[in-house]
Chain A
Amino acid sequence: MELAVVGDGEFVTGFRLAGVQKVYKINEESKLEETVKGIFNDSSIGIIVMHSNDFNKLPETLRDTLSESVEPTLVTLGGTGQSSNLRDKIKQAVGVDLWK
């Protein structure tokens, strides 16, 4: 299992420094969706790391599948994209907003 990082040049370089091999640099926004889909179907990847700004640029259906999938798991950085998503799920399942 490996870590995959998707994002612009600056975002990705840092992870290369930490030794992450599978980094996907996105130069044009139009290629973002395609790249993410490719990673999603790659079975050797266990965790996808994205910046939440990039994540919010994806179409909604892809966002839903990504945030619901367990393998690979998506982790977004910066912003509050993911915690609000989890928050909705908690509200739905438990009935009470327990997050914070």
Chain B
Amino acid sequence: MGTKDVKPTRSELIELKKKIKLSQSGHKLLKMKRDGLILEFFEILNKAKGVRNELDDAYDNATEKIGIAEAVEGRMVIKSTALALKEGPVISLESHNIMGVVVPKIEASSVHKSINKRGYGILGTSSCIDETVDSYEILVDKIILAAEIETTMKRLLEDIEKTKRRVNALEFKVIPEMQEAMDFIRFRLDEMERENTFRLKRIKA
């Protein structure tokens, strides 16, 4: 809103006053939302750091185990065992709400299976394979956790940015411009009043 295209009328002035008041309360609310989001983000950040490290550890462990299993049993055995597995982890996605940001809550079922439910023969395979399966199940668990937390972080970051931009736009652009317009109207109204008194005086004289 440029200063030039406001009409210097009293009703416009009242309208502007109302608008400024509304924007200021909106600004206050958005500021609180931003602070809240950042607080929430800090909590998630701490979790995310831990989860990342755990994920890397789990991955290293799993690759080591499968390496051993391949060395002991041979690649073909591992592959055929892998093909025997039928049941996979099922992920369910739920969403919950952090200060207006919808974040996913990922839950997995049947990642960990007991040895006799895995689908391959226990007698035909060695304990190396069991260990490998175990370590990969742990890895999948960690992946699901990491996916949840990292998605939450992404969403929160996006929203923090958006809210921050809104707060700044209100604070540095919208409100000052309206105030400027208000000052302009006041000035014009005063000026018109002075002109009027002067004119009246001239007519009288």
Contacts and interface: CB of A to CB of B under 8 A. Distances in A.
Interface of A: 1-3, 10, 13-21, 46-47, 49, 68, 70-71, 73, 75, 77-78, 82-83, 86, 89-90, 92-94, 98-100
Contacts of B106: 1, 46-47
Nearest to B42: A98
Q: A-side binding surface: helix, strand, loop or mixed?
A: mixed
18 contacts: A2-B90, A13-B82, A14-B136, A17-B78, A18-B88, A18-B137, A20-B140, A46-B91, A47-B91, A70-B104, A70-B155, A75-B146, A77-B55, A77-B59, A82-B150, A86-B150, A93-B157, A99-B49
Contacts, number: 120
B92 interface: yes
Interface residues of B, number: 54
Contacts of B79: 13
B144 interface: yes
B82 A3 contact: no
Given A47-B144, A89-B157, A16 B52 contact: no
